[in-house]
Chain A
Amino acid sequence: MKLGTTLGAALVASVSWASMAAAQTELSLWYHGAGNEAESTALQLIIDDFNASQSDYTVVVESFPQESYNDSVVAAALAGNLPDILDVDGPVMPNWAWAGYLQPLDINEGVIENFLDGPKGYWGGELYSIGFWDAAIAMMSRQSTLDALGLRTPTIDSPWTGDEFMAALDAAKASGDYDFALDLGMPWTGEWYPYAFSPFLQSFGGDIVDRSSYATAEGALNGDAAMAFGNWWQSLFADGYAPGTSQDPADRDTGFIDGKYAFSWNGNWAALGALEAHDDVLFLPAPDFGNGSYIGAASWQFGVAATSENAEGASAFIEFALQDNYLANFSNVTGLIPATSTAAAMTDNYAEGGALEVFFGLSEAQALVRPVTPGYVVFAKVFEKALADIANGADVADTLDAAADEINADIEANSGYGH
């Protein structure tokens, strides 16, 4: 009798476990962070907590190398093999939404009310993706440099004007203490060019495309403001202020630390390394060339695949992950800027008095997302080529006209990209 009872209980227990396991739906998640142990650990913590918090879903992650992640996703989309949840680079999101890879997120938008603008991925008036963090760029310099050159320290509320910035470069150049006054990171090809340099164009009053309609680049990329930007851009190299496209990549990594450059246009990911080398490093806001100070915004974000049959669970996971403690933990292990001020207050670097606090302020005050259009993935390459050509001495007007024509042709070939 006793044996029978025990066996019966064991049977009931196994059936219960089996049915619980059967009831749990697996949610596949693709992430771009393969090879980044810290990010993988932070993400796994969220997944473990989510899996333990409910019994309907189990999230299983597959990590991909960032460099080839987009190609893997596009190939999987073609083969009909997308996961439930995937992360997407902010400026690429509209393209994936337009191409039918993503569906709108079904989360309580009240949760993201206090998020920075950069991590919020809207397309066509709907939220498609949301990020845990953002990245920001600053003009790195040293207090000792500003003092030696007799320059005022710009602030977010009072950035350098274009004239002040050029005066700073002149002073650095005239001092003879540096190989070049300014390091722009010209060897970092690819997305760096539109991310880092299009804010200068926008500060001049131009843009990569006319954002009022997204139907043309005419006037935005080759109008008077863009021409002024192009001439200024070319002068940086022609007049010897900055190394051009042939800059040694090693100098990009170590030149500022080694004192070869007075100013370096670089991201928050390089900030801690600079601070380790020199304790008086400053992170200055972007100069204002007449139409405001801007830096790029939008980093990696999470979305739900259009083909997911478990969109409810996928959105539930994403909403679960947006808690401040997770955002703060991600920031602590990656060094990136948490998406909310409340999470920032919980971090080592971005809390009040933290070494990188200024970057949160920069993201809040100066961040401007790149053109929110499916065509951006093409426009970005056109823009990159135009800027490299101008830096190498190409005629500014001809180059910008050709770039605008190429973008317009692409918009037309894609029937306006759904705008």
Chain B
Amino acid sequence: MAAINQDNRGLRLIVRYAVLTLIAIIFIFPVLFMVMSSFKPNLQLLRDTSSLRAFLPVGDISLDNYYDAFRRAPIGLFVFNSVLVTGVTVLLSLFFCSLAAFSFVYLNWKGRDLALTIIIATLIIPFETIAIPLLLFVSKLPWIGLEGIEIGWLDSYHVQIIPWIADGLTVFLFVQYFKDLPGELIEACRVEGASWWQIYVKVVMPLSGPVIATAAILKFLVMYNQYLWPLIVVQQETYRPVLVGLQYFFQLNITWGEIMAYLTIVTIPVLAIYLVLQRAFIASIASTGVKG
């Protein structure tokens, strides 16, 4: 009987690993295709798409596509722009949205519930519907720059950052998480004479690692994949992000190998962030049930 159970357990393990391996392969194949194709000349790449050769480093392999991709577009600049805009936005978003959530959960003020309802309701509004009004708005806003006061935010980093700092989802995530923190702890701090700011900085935020990781990753993905907004507010190459830069490769004769090389390069920051935050990311999914 014990032997039979042992066999069943072994069989279950084999089946489980087979299924997991299959799923892993399904998810890894597009990435594998991208990376392998980035080393192949255009004609070979297109011909290989009809066979498993598409996923293998076979045939005429070289770094030519990478060389040509760097010649075609200022990739370093685009990656820098995206990383800068994304990084600053994520940090500011974590700060302001968590502060807002803190206020909604712990402070008593008139209209609090209505304000929270309105903020959460913004989740159902697609960005595309407000893109043009927002464009008209930011194009008329003043900004104090190095040359004094200027009118209009277009062609800048801040036009890509400021409108994206606050968003309903991040506030909602923090609100939900803060609600689950023990209220007694906050009350004890107040009794001991701690200010709200001290409670926010020294008690609540240090306990909020999982939700910070979740919110940071979700915001990172949104910001790093920005396309429509920078397309309409940025006219100068100096400020263009990676996804707008991808369009540089769609010419009359499309060079797919260069596109794959470009995509491989711009994927590196995403993989790096994932590897750094991998543990927190998995923990946050387990604790919040939110998927990226």
Asked if residues B232 and A65 are in contact (CB atoms below 8 Å), the reply is no
A360 to B204, CA, bound (A): 73
A7 within 8 A of B: no
Show the binding face of A for B, using Cβ within 8 Å: 30, 34-37, 62-68, 71-72, 75-76, 78-81, 248, 250, 253-254, 257-258, 267, 269-270, 273
A–B Cβ pairs within 8 angstroms, 27 of them: A35-B73, A35-B249, A35-B251, A36-B251, A37-B72, A62-B235, A62-B236, A65-B247, A65-B248, A66-B250, A67-B250, A68-B231, A68-B247, A71-B231, A72-B231, A72-B232, A75-B135, A75-B232, A75-B233, A78-B135, A78-B136, A79-B135, A79-B152, A248-B49, A250-B47, A253-B254, A254-B43
Decide if B139 is an interface residue (CB 8 Å cutoff).
Answer: yes
Q: Mark B39-57, 1 if CB is under 8 A from A, else 0.
A: 0001100110110000000
Q: 1/0 contact trace for B124-158 toward A, CB 8 Å?
A: 00000000100110010000000000001010000
Q: How far is the CB of B193 from chain A (nearest CB, A)?
A: 52
In the complex, what distance in Å separates the CA atom of A408 from the CA atom of B244?
35
Task: Please indicate the chain B residues that have their CB under 8 angstroms from the CB of A75 in the complex.
Answer: 132, 135, 231-233
In Å, the complex CA distance between A410 and B26 comes to 45
| Closest A residue, CB atoms, query B247 | A65
> Distance (Å) between the CB of B162 and the closest chain A CB?
16
B272 interfacial contact with A, CB 8 Å = no
Q: Is the CB of A81 within 8 A of B250?
A: no
Nearest chain A residue, comparing its CB with the CB of B245: A65
Inter-chain contacts of A67 with B (CB < 8 A): 247, 250
Q: Interface size class for chain B?
A: 20 to 34
Chain A nearest CB: distance from B150 CB in Å?
13
Task: Decide yes or no whether B110 CB sits under 8 A from chain A.
Answer: no
B233 touches A34 (CB 8 A): no
In the complex the two chains form, is A250's CB within 8 Å of B235's CB? no
- The smallest beta-carbon distance between A359 and chain B, in angstroms, is 14
Beta-carbon contact of A254 and B231 below 8 Å: no
In the complex, are the beta carbons of B49 and A250 less than 8 A apart? yes
Residues on B with beta carbons closer than 8 Å to the beta carbon of A66? 247, 250-251
Give CA–CA (A258, B252) in the complex, Å: 20
Q: B237 on the interface (CB 8 Å rule)?
A: yes
Interface centre among A30, A68, A79, A80 (most CB of B within 10 A): A79
Chain B residues near A62 (CB, 8 Å)?
235-237
Known: A34-B237, A254-B46. A79 touches B247 (CB 8 A): no
Interchain Cβ contacts within 8 Å, total number:
77
**Chain B residues positioned under 8 Å from A30 (CB to CB):** 235
Assess the B244–A65 pair: CB atoms within 8 A.
yes
| Nearest CB in chain A: distance from B173 CB, A | 31
Which residues on B sit within 8 Å (CB–CB) of A78? 132, 135-136
8 A Cβ contacts from B211-270 to A: 231-233, 235-237, 244-245, 247-254
- What residues on A are CB-neighbors of B236 within 8 Å? 62
Q: A35-B72, A71-B231, A250-B46 are in contact. Are A79 and B237 (CB under 8 A)?
A: no
Q: Which residues of B contact A270 (CB under 8 A)?
A: 253
State in angstroms the CA–CA spacing of A80 and B151 once bound together: 12
Asked, given contacts A35-B72, A65-B244, A66-B247, whether A81 binds B154 with beta carbons under 8 Å apart, the answer is: yes
Task: Collect the chain A residues with CB atoms within 8 Å of residue B71's CB.
Answer: 37
A residues in contact with B46, CB < 8 Å = 250, 253-254
Beyond known contacts A65-B248, A248-B50, A250-B50: 15 more, CB 8 A cutoff: A37-B71, A64-B235, A65-B245, A66-B247, A66-B251, A68-B247, A72-B231, A75-B231, A79-B152, A79-B154, A80-B139, A81-B139, A250-B47, A253-B254, A257-B43
- Top 7 nearest A-B pairs by Cβ distance? A35-B248, A65-B247, A75-B232, A79-B139, A250-B46, A269-B252, A67-B247
C-alpha spacing A269/B253, complex, angstroms: 7
Q: Give Cα distance in the complex from A210 to B232, angstroms.
A: 35
Q: How far is the CA of A81 from the CA of B64 in the complex (A)?
A: 39
Query: Which A-chain residue is minimally distant from B228 (CB atoms)?
Result: A71
Given contacts A79-B135, A79-B136, A250-B46, are A35 and B247 in contact (CB under 8 A)?
Answer: yes
Contacts of B253 in A (CB 8 A): 269-270, 273
Q: Nearest Cβ in chain A — how far from B249, in angstroms?
A: 6
Q: How far is the CB of B166 from chain A (nearest CB, A)?
A: 23
| A residues in contact with B232, CB < 8 Å | 71-72, 75
Q: Are the C-beta atoms of B152 and A81 separated by less than 8 Å?
A: yes
Q: How distant is A43 from chain B, measured CB to nearest CB, in Å?
A: 14
Smallest CB gap from A254: residue in B: B46
Report the separation of the CA atoms of residues A65 and B249 in the bound assembly, to the nearest whole angstrom: 8
Query: Smallest CB-CB separation from B139: which chain A residue?
Result: A79
Q: Which residues of A contact B132 (CB under 8 A)?
A: 75, 78
Nearest-neighbour CB distance to chain A for B70, whole angstroms, equals 11
Contacts of B73 in A (CB 8 A): 34-35
Across-interface contacts of B72 in A (CB, < 8 A): 35-37
Assembly CA distance A406 to B43 (angstroms): 41
Q: Which B residue's beta carbon lies closest to that of A30?
A: B235
The residues of B that contact A250 with a CB separation of less than 8 Å are: 46-47, 49-50
Residues of B within 8 A of A253 (CB): 42, 46, 254
Q: Which residue of B lies closest to A33 (CB)?
A: B251
Alpha-carbon gap, A373 to B71, bound state (A): 39
The docked-state distance in angstroms from the alpha carbon of A78 to that of B132 is 8
Q: How far is the CA of A65 from the CA of B78 in the complex (A)?
A: 13
Residues of B within 8 A of A37 (CB): 71-72
Most B-side CB within 10 Å, residue of A36, A63, A64, A80: A64
Selected from A63, A71, A258, A267, the residue in CB contact (under 8 A) with B237 is A63
| B235 adjacent to A76 (CB under 8 Å) | yes
Tell me the bound Cα distance from A62 to B231 in angstroms. Answer: 14
Q: How far is the CA of A79 from the CA of B231 in the complex (A)?
A: 13
Residue of B nearest to A258 (CB): B47
A254 contacts across to B, CB distance below 8 A:
43, 46-47
The answer to whether residues A72 and B248 also contact, given A78-B136, A79-B139, A81-B139 and a CB cut-off of 8 A, is no
Residues of A within 8 A of B248 (CB): 34-35, 65
A254 to B49, CA, bound (A): 12
Residues of chain A within 8 A (CB-CB) of B254 are: 253
